[in-house]
């Protein structure tokens, strides 16, 4: 079993215009920087991107937005990206905003083989328009459908050639659920290790969900809001 590919370029083989891509990360934390850079270089377009956020103007998915490579975004919060807001308000970019917990569950369920589920989030709001409502224990719920993607691209801290992954800190976020939901799941990791180096008790994403893995380079890991406290 060897899922190692040489680079982002090899990992993204088969990526085509108009595909649906999941990208892990929360803000700029835990985003697959290498694959995003390669997607910009490849120039693929008309993409549907499923990602909690849309990056900032000059980093993360913002780089793909700048080049107008994204036709539709499925996200929960896009407040940090002016170019995104501009393209959305002008109608250039199609946007499906969905509650963050529903987004995570829809990815997880997509990978878990559950086609739909009920959740109370969004009932009585725009999010509920056109969706089936069913009452459980006196409380109305919306029927939400699962999401899958042609490629799911995740970023992990460490991984091995079996595709087993470990994330670091809150860079985990959407990565494990999305890793489950890709027809092809690409993991870019900071460090490739030998099988056995990762304790099986502490694997976050079991390798079965991952098809291609590579060690990324030059991670910038940009901090969006650098908040500190004074030493007293």
Contact residues for another protein (CB under 8 A)? Answer: 26-30, 52, 75-80, 85, 88-89, 95, 97, 99-105, 107-108, 119-127, 157, 167-177, 204, 221-231
Residue 129 burial (10 A CB sphere; 0-12, 13-18, 19+): exposed
Task: Quote the least distance from Cβ 160 to another protein, whole Å.
Answer: 19
Instruction: In angstroms, give the least distance from the CB of 10 to another protein.
Output: 26
The least CB distance from residue 183 to another protein, in Å, is 19
Q: If you count them, how many residues does the chain have?
A: 232
Nearer to another protein, 9 or 57 (CB): 57
Of 77 and 150, which CB lies nearer to another protein in the complex structure?
A: 77
For another protein, the closer CB: 5 or 56: 56
- Return the number of the residue (113 or 169) whose C-beta is nearest another protein: 169
Structure token pair of residue 13: 């083989």
- Of 13 and 96, the one with the shorter C-beta distance to another protein is 96
DSSP 125: S
The nearer residue to another protein, 108 or 214, going by C-beta atoms, is 108
Report residue 176: phi and psi, to 5°: -65, -40
Minimum distance, C-beta of residue 176 to another protein, in the bound complex (Å): 4
What are the structure tokens assigned to 231, written together? 């030493």
The three-point CA angle 191-197-201 to 5° equals 110
Name which of 193, 156, 54, 173 is nearest 108 in CA terms.
Answer: 173
Instruction: State the nearest-atom distance from the C-beta of 165 to another protein, in Å.
Output: 11
Rounded CA gap, 97 and 137, in Å? 27
Distances (CA, A) of 186 to 3, 11, 105, 151, 203: 10, 6, 20, 7, 17
Question: Which helix (H) or strand (E) covers residue 62, if one does?
Answer: helix 62-66
Shortest Cβ distance from residue 163 to another protein (Å)? 17
């Amino acid at each position: 079993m060897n899922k190692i590919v040489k680079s982002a370029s090899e990992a993204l083989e088969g990526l085509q215009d108009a595909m649906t891509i999941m990208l892990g990360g929360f803000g700029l934390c835990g985003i697959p920087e290498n694959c995003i850079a390669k997607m910009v270089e490849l120039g693929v377009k008309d993409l549907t991107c499923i990602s909690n956020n849309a990056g900032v103007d000059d980093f993360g998915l913002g780089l793909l937005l700048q080049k107008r490579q994204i036709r539709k975004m499925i996200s929960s919060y896009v407040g940090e990206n002016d170019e995104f807001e501009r393209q959305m308000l002008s109608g250039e970019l199609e946007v499906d905003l969905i509650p963050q917990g529903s987004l995570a569950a829809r990815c997880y369920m997509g990978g878990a083989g559950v086609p739909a589920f009920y959740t109370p989030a969004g009932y009585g709001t725009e999010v509920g328009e056109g969706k089936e409502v069913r009452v459980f224990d006196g409380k109305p719920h919306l029927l939400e459908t699962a999401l899958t993607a042609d490629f799911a691209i995740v970023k992990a801290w460490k991984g091995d050639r079996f595709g087993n992954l470990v994330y670091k800190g809150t860079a985990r976020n959407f990565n494990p659920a999305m890793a489950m939901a890709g027809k092809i799941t690409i993991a870019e990791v900071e460090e490739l290790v030998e099988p056995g180096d990762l304790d099986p008790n502490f694997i976050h994403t079991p390798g079965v969900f991952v098809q291609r893995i590579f060690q990324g380079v030059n991670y910038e890991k940009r901090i969006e809001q650098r908040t500190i406290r004074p030493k007293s």
